[in-house]
Amino acid sequence: MTADELIGLEIELLLEGVFQVYGYDFRGYAEASLRRRLAQWLSGSGYATLSLAQSDLLRDRTLFDTLLRGITVNVSEMFRDPGFFTAIREQVVPYLKTYPFVKIWHAGCATGEEAYSMAILLQEEGLKGRFRIYATDINEEVIHKAEEGIYPLLNMQHFTRNYQHSGGTGSFSDYYTARYNHAILSPSLREHIVFAAHNLAVDTDFGEMNLILCRNVMIYFKQALKERVFALFDTSLIPGGFLCLGTKENLEFRHISDRYEALTPRMQIYRKRYAKK
């Protein structure tokens, strides 16, 4: 067995153990990025190999939490890919306005920026009081951060530019209060959002959603896990609902493809058809 194959085996054994002990299932994650992230964790851990770390990882929850942090990539920004939010505003919101109440699921919301951006957009479009956002992530630590809605003030310049490029109709500074080096988002935005832990690899669907967003999450998944997640979204979406996959993912050649039509192919926004083909 080569050194490379040995590392592959160590990863496989570790992931199996992690699943058995903690219920987190990373066995369906794409190998290349997982390898990179585990190697990075290992280099800062003090262990020489994953096999040597494994015994402690399976017994020490605090140590495992550091691994969890290392495996999940939690970077996000407000109005990330501004053109995507323009497409939501111009092409999806007109449909959403026809419903008395709208339910939205942000799957893999990281520290919450995407969900808060959506709350701002929907308020500006006159949907205040008529929507609820469910924002979920596998990582409970980032969910707590998301709940706080506090971001480094330094980021606000970039977020403001994104907001403006996305077609924001107000003044972005109205949505936060600057305190020392932080920006505290307006609590009124938080009122529309329920943050919760949810694992796309093992947990069940969310019912009756009008809109589901899952951007920059499935790039880390292997094909079989992607199919599981697509099936989960399909069950969770009402007919006529929208599925947003971000620029790095699409619905081509998926089991659910024929039940969806592309609304904006470039932004990977799909609409679920009313009748099955």
Ligand X SMILES: C[S@@+](CC[C@H](N)C(=O)[O-])C[C@H]1O[C@@H](n2cnc3c(N)ncnc32)[C@H](O)[C@@H]1O
The residue ranges that bind ligand X (CB under 6 A) are 72-76, 80, 108-110, 114, 137-139, 142, 199-201, 215-217
Q: Please report how close the Cβ of residue 201 comes to ligand X at its closest, in angstroms.
A: 4
Q: Please report how close the Cβ of residue 263 comes to ligand X at its closest, in angstroms.
A: 19
Q: Please report how close the Cβ of residue 262 comes to ligand X at its closest, in angstroms.
A: 20
Rounded distance, CA 270 to CA 240, Å? 10
Rounded distance, CA 254 to CA 243, Å? 14
Nearer to ligand X by Cβ, of 67 and 201: the residue is 201
Q: Please report how close the Cβ of residue 95 comes to ligand X at its closest, in angstroms.
A: 22
Nearer to ligand X by Cβ, of 33 and 273: the residue is 33
Q: Please report how close the Cβ of residue 171 comes to ligand X at its closest, in angstroms.
A: 23
Alpha helix ranges (H) inside the chain: 3-22, 31-43, 50-59, 61-71, 82-87, 93-96, 113-124, 140-148, 156-165, 187-190, 223-236
Nearer to ligand X by Cβ, of 85 and 175: the residue is 85
Q: Please report how close the Cβ of residue 276 comes to ligand X at its closest, in angstroms.
A: 28
Nearer to ligand X by Cβ, of 57 and 225: the residue is 225
Q: Which residue has the CB atom at the shortest distance from ligand X?
A: 108
Q: What are phi and psi of 242, to 5 degrees?
A: -115, 140
Asked whether 82 and 166 are in contact (CB, 8 A), the reply is: yes
Rounded distance, CA 51 to CA 107, Å? 32
Asked whether 146 and 112 are in contact (CB, 8 A), the reply is: yes
Amino acid letter at 39? A
Alpha helix ranges (H) inside 60-112: 61-71, 82-87, 93-96
Nearer to ligand X by Cβ, of 54 and 74: the residue is 74
Cα–Cα distances in angstroms (integers) from residue 243 to residues 22, 159, 198, in the given order: 30, 24, 18
Nearer to ligand X by Cβ, of 72 and 94: the residue is 72
